[in-house]
Structure 1
Amino acid sequence: MGNSLMIYLNKRLKEEDSYMKNPATTAGPVITISREVGCNGLKLANLINDRLNKEKMCSVWKVLSKEVFSQSAKELNLKPERVRKIFKETNKYTFDEILKAFSDKQFKSEKKIVKTVSDVVRSFAIDGHCIIVGRAGHLIANDIKNALHLRLVAPLEYRINVIMENNKLNREEAAHFIQRVEKERIVFRKAILQGQNIEDTFDLLINRASFSDEEIVDIIEYTVKEKGLLKMNQPKMEFY
């Protein structure tokens, strides 16, 4: 029994050391969802989350989107709205000029805010058992092995109809909304990348208009299991 315990403890120490040196190989599991505006990505994420939690795993899956800005704002001592505003400047990258309007106590450089948001997303991805909707999750977690990166697309007309229904807008307003938000997302990705050459790479690209919600969840659940995401990070036995 004594030898077995020592073997186990030595193995755990090696695992923890390996994790600290290269967390990307032991991080996760994580699912990232990139989507065109009007694909109801958050709604689908919640449905996937519910399905995965029915697997009765020890770790509970969670959906993360606005939580990224909330946690980043908490670490920066800023309001979430102010952090979010940094990534909505579609005309130019004068983020520091916006921040200078804040009090000296609250002032944070654009670089600091961008890094904090990126670090928060990566921290969530490394912790695992989460579905990150947007926030350039597929770029920030692109090196994590235990991950599934999903891209949702749909014809423009489909997306316009979704936005009209979700936001109670007319067709012209919905089309303008899609154009504006897509520009904001491009700015966000550019800010996160900070000149890095990381390509958009996805494991699955799904046409939202071709399948029902339930069919897409079935596809994701099958892919998650086939990829081994539910096996790689099983809780380890602890000794007390």
Structure 2
Amino acid sequence: MAIITISRGTYSGGRAVAEALGSKLKYPCISKEIILDAAEEFGVPESKLTAAMEEPPKAWIETPAKKIAHLNYVRYALLKRAKANDLVYHGYAGHLLLGNISHVICVRVIADMEYRIKVAIEDKKLTRKEAINFIKKLDKQGLNWTRFLYGVDWNDPALYDIVINLDRISVESAVDIIAQMACMDEFKPDENSIRALDNQVLSSLVWAALTKDKRTNSSNLQVVSDNGKVTISGNTSSKKTLMAIDEVTRGVKGVTEVINEAGIGTDWQW
């Protein structure tokens, strides 16, 4: 079992690498499919989920709770796919959405600006100036998004297991390198990494349930799972809501114990 995430800037060649890698390994290659999964499972319009993954921080500040809810729906959809199958995922910061799971291979694909400009001109039928502006705009948007949500610079090589420069090697060679990594002992799932994935799936599902329920969706909560035991912390508006948090959490499949450490405070959401 291998989960491979490929981070890439606009027109850097990451999509080509992901698709070729999926074909070579016979793994599903997914990207925006998780938006469709989340929209179907949680009944949220695709446009709102896409906006949560693409809009700049200013939009998040205006409606933070709703944006975070939509982000977590998408995160759950990705985690669910990762739990069920080997996969190659590209786009929407998969290396950050999947968190600290040791059998996830985090790849960053880069290319110089000239390469990216050429591809953008061919794909979008842009002038050179338009292509440059388009690439810079999307790069800035992605950089600001990850910095705002996760406090990291997505260009930081420390976030990845490997950074591949397509100016130096071909797509085919990049695919061979990543495929070899997928066979390494360091990236094989073990008891601890599978448990970490299971815990993240359950945490995300509980969070989604709390967000969907009208009695609890205004609460500012954090959810941590450990082998079926779920700990809820944060703040909510009333004792009635605290009781509802317990009820909703216990109703999620896989939850065996609930520790509700949430308090009544003034920083609930919406």
TM-score (norm 2): 0.61
Q: Give percent identity, aligned residues only.
A: 26
Where in structure 2 are the equivalents of 1:15-164 lying within 5 Å?
29-53=2-26, 61-90=27-56, 92-94=58-60, 109-164=66-121
Q: Secondary structure at the match of 1:109?
A: helix
Task: Say if 1:85 and 1:141 are closer, same or farther in 2 by CA, change over 3 A.
Answer: closer
Aligned-residue CA RMSD in angstroms? 2.9
Task: Say if 1:62 and 1:92 are closer, same or farther in 2 by CA, change over 3 A.
Answer: same
Aligned equivalents of 1:70 and 1:191: distance in 2?
25
Which runs of no fewer than 5 residues in structure 2 stay unpaired? 192-270
Aligned equivalents of 1:214 and 1:149: distance in 2?
18
1:178 deviation in Å? 0.7
Aligned equivalents of 2:14 and 2:4: distance in 1?
12
Give the counterpart letter for 1:182 in structure 2: D
Task: Say if 1:91 and 1:191 are closer, same or farther in 2 by CA, change over 3 A.
Answer: closer
Equivalent pair of 2:120/2:126 in contact (CA under 8 Å): yes
What is aligned with 2:267? none
Q: Does 1:206 align with 2:164?
A: yes
Task: Output one character per residue of 1:202-240: Cα deviation in whole Å (capped at 9) or x when no partner.
Answer: 11101011111211111112222234657879xxxxxxx
Aligned residues between the structures: 189
What is aligned with 2:227? none
Q: Does 1:189 align with 2:162?
A: no
Aligned equivalents of 2:98 and 2:60: distance in 1?
27
Equivalent pair of 1:95/1:110 in contact (CA under 8 Å): no
Moved over 4 A (4+): 94-97, 195-200, 227-233
Which runs of no fewer than 5 residues in structure 1 stay unpaired? 1-27, 54-60, 100-107, 234-240
Aligned equivalents of 1:224 and 1:231: distance in 2?
11
What is aligned with 2:208? none
Q: Secondary structure at the match of 1:32?
A: strand
Aligned equivalents of 2:183 and 2:57: distance in 1?
43
Task: Say if 1:188 and 1:127 are closer, same or farther in 2 by CA, change over 3 A.
Answer: farther
Task: Say if 1:46 and 1:204 are closer, same or farther in 2 by CA, change over 3 A.
Answer: same
What is aligned with 1:13? none
1:109 deviation in Å? 2.1
Task: Output one character per residue of 1:55-99: Cα deviation in whole Å (capped at 9) or x when no partner.
Answer: xxxxxx1111111211122233232123212333336134655x9
1:49 deviation in Å? 0.7
Task: Say if 1:151 and 1:230 are closer, same or farther in 2 by CA, change over 3 A.
Answer: same
What is aligned with 2:184? 226
TM-score (norm 1): 0.68
Equivalent pair of 2:146/2:152 in contact (CA under 8 Å): no
Aligned equivalents of 1:196 and 1:174: distance in 2?
26
Higher relative contact order (CA 8 A, sep 6+): 1
1:111 deviation in Å? 2.5
Q: Secondary structure at the match of 2:167?
A: helix
Give the counterpart letter for 2:9 in structure 1: E
Q: Secondary structure at the match of 1:209?
A: coil
Task: Say if 1:91 and 1:111 are closer, same or farther in 2 by CA, change over 3 A.
Answer: closer
Equivalent pair of 2:48/2:70 in contact (CA under 8 Å): no
More strand by share: 2
What is aligned with 2:232? none
